[in-house]
Amino acid sequence: MAENISTIEIITSPSAKYDAAGKSGIINIKTKKTIITGINGSYNLTVGTGKYGMYTTGLNLNWRTEKFNLFGNYNNGNRGFFQTRYIERHISGDQPILFVSDVYNRRRFKNNNYKAGFDYFINSKHTVGALVRGYSNSFSQDGFNTNPISSNGKVDSTLYSNTTIRNKFSNVSFNLNYKGQLDTLGTEISADADWAEFKDNNNMLLNDSMSYLVDPVLNYHSIRNRPINNVTIKSVKADLVLPFNKTTKLETGFKLSSVKTDNDLRYDSLLNGKYERAITQSNQFIYTETVYAAYLIFKKQIRNTDIQAGLRAEQTKSDGYSVTLQSHVKRSYLDFFPSLSVDQKLSENHKIGVNYSKRISRPNYGDLNPFVWYIDKYNYFKGNPYLLPEYTHKAEISYTFKQKYVAALSYGLTKNIVLEYMIQNDTSKVTTFYDRNFERSYVYGITLTIPIDPFKWWNITNNINANRTAYDVKDTMVNLATNTWGLNYQTTHTFTLPQDWKLELNGYYESPFVWGVYKIRSSFAIGAGVQKSFMNKKLVAKLNVSDITNREQFRGTARFDNIDMYINNRWQNRRVNLALTWNFGNSNIKAARDREAGAEQQRVGG
């Protein structure tokens, strides 16, 4: 419950205590200390419609006594949506060819998510807990693609494709944890042990047929793809907070994580009316990774100055093994991740801060698998087992006025930056998309947070980010635009009206920008909502519409070497949703402790 939240801390440059993986900041929610006992919970229901309808419903329960806290939730949903992809590919040569791919994907996602946990309070200083959570979800897609092919400005053939995907994926995760306060000075020790298993069973059927203008008879072709992917993740960690006095403390800890993925990709081709195993296209890929990590943080408060310096070390060992190709890609590397932050309170209304951190972003496990996904017979996606981790150095200086107006200048350097790339075979007319490493990128940015309250009943929040991006690429065939500027603006207007009514208007604008080989055009969206509380604010009803103008889309071009491409992707962003939330029980009961999933689980994808 919001009443139990003491502070919400947004950490833009996380300290050495947190996993070094990731580029963005971390949100640290601290709850109030209370021993109020009883039962509370909430029930929520959301129904909505766009081109296709959706619903989601869930129940949250929390039972707290002086000796234990039992909690859990369950959520179920069924969401229909669509995605379109329009691609123009110009292939030069003695006889220029234009491919126009117009894809419509109708999709449906069904989810069943659950969580149950138990905390036992040994005494006021020591707590042990257990948590189990997981999901059993499914995804289906029916895709239709019409691809006219033109030579010298005239259509001479058309490729018709339809793709059927039926995907079931599940996860179960277990966590055991302990937290204890060892003395009155604040010495704390905590420990976690995690085990998680992910299963993904996919069935994809790709049918295509070619019709020629001079011979309208369809040439039929079919491929069946049945990948089975299993991921097992194990980790243990322990943390120690050691205060020397009220203004000085030391934090240290370690973590060991182990990951194994087994992806068995099976392709069958339709030959003479029967599906037969396509040995050359099938592949089994096993990836193992072990990370040993340890950190040390020193914190010191000197009057109105808070200083925090930390160092995290991570030793990584990995092996990407293609069983089919009998090939290994092994790596072993040791990294150090320093972090530093200094916050200076100048007065009651003025504060400045300086921070720096280095972080790592390892590839998702599926991106390392060298298998090929067929969009159609002329467009492929491919994994890259040689992907290297990204390393990001970020420095920021910020100024805060009256604890709500914020201005920040930042600088980011990313080495081995991973971007989508493509190669085109002018003979076969096939374009293959895959991720690859480039040398580095630089991002200079300024961020402004400007809340405005014209009246007590009207609150405006404005977030503005302007940045300059530059790429340093040694590949002479790749033309990445450098010194490009980008602007992102978000605004939210909240109107608090009598009788517990609230209105909200929101919008965003993103200017043209460059992302790797793509030049992306601008986009924007506008949304609106209304909220009403009932039953002494126990029941809350919200009605909102998103992307009213239906202008949120991805439009871009890629032109380098022999690539000349235009892309326009759209999604079901315009929706109308009605959400009901009923809160019951004692709202002052402290919410259950939550345990965040580690960076290893976030790399599973899906």
Q: What tokens appear for 66 in the block?
A: 């002086």
Tell me the residue type at 189: I
> Is residue 7 scored above 50 in pLDDT?
no
- Tell me the pLDDT tens digit for each residue of 23-75: 555 554 444 445 688 999 999 999 999 999 999 999 999 999 999 999 999 99
- Tell the residue number behind the tokens 């000349």, with chain if given: 564
pLDDT score recorded for residue 599: 62
The DSSP secondary-structure symbol of 601 reads H
Residues contacting residue 319 through CB under 8 Å, at least 6 positions apart: 287, 288, 289, 328, 329, 330, 331
> What is the share, in percent, of the chain residues with pLDDT greater than 90?
65
Alpha carbon distance 357, 19 (integer Å): 12
Tell me the residue type at 381: F
Contact 382, 373 (CB under 8 A): yes
* 566-to-187, 262, 405, 471, 521 alpha-carbon distances in Å: 59, 36, 41, 21, 11
Q: pLDDT band at 341, cuts 50/70/90?
A: very high
Average pLDDT of the segment spanning 555-562 = 89
Stronger pLDDT, 248 or 33, i.e. the higher one: 248
Alpha carbon distance 334, 352 (integer Å): 34
pLDDT score recorded for residue 284: 86
Average pLDDT of the segment spanning 564-568 = 93
> Is residue 281 scored above 60 in pLDDT?
yes
Contact 80, 53 (CB under 8 A): yes
> Is residue 8 scored above 60 in pLDDT?
no
Q: pLDDT band at 238, cuts 50/70/90?
A: very high
SS3 3: helix
Alpha carbon distance 131, 120 (integer Å): 12
The DSSP secondary-structure symbol of 182 reads -
**Of 350-364, 470-484, 554-568, which gets the smallest average pLDDT?**
470-484
Stronger pLDDT, 18 or 93, i.e. the higher one: 93
- Tell me the pLDDT tens digit for each residue of 444-466: 999 999 999 999 999 999 999 99
Q: Write down the mean pLDDT value for the chain.
A: 89
Q: How many CA atoms, within 13 angstroms, populate the side-chain half-sphere of residue 219?
A: 9
Q: pLDDT band at 5, cuts 50/70/90?
A: very low
Q: Which residues pair with 60 in a beta bridge?
A: 42, 73
Main-chain dihedrals φ then ψ at residue 367, nearest 5 degrees: -70, -15
pLDDT score recorded for residue 605: 62
> Is residue 481 scored above 70 in pLDDT?
no
Q: pLDDT band at 409, cuts 50/70/90?
A: very high
Q: pLDDT band at 372, cuts 50/70/90?
A: confident
- Tell me the pLDDT tens digit for each residue of 147-197: 999 988 889 889 889 999 999 999 999 999 999 999 988 899 999 999 999
Stronger pLDDT, 551 or 15, i.e. the higher one: 551
The pTM of the full predicted model, rounded to 2 decimals, is 0.85
Q: Which residues pair with 515 in a beta bridge?
A: 518
- Tell the residue number behind the tokens 């971390």, with chain if given: 26
> What is the share, in percent, of the chain residues with pLDDT greater than 70?
91
- Tell me the pLDDT tens digit for each residue of 98-107: 999 999 999 9
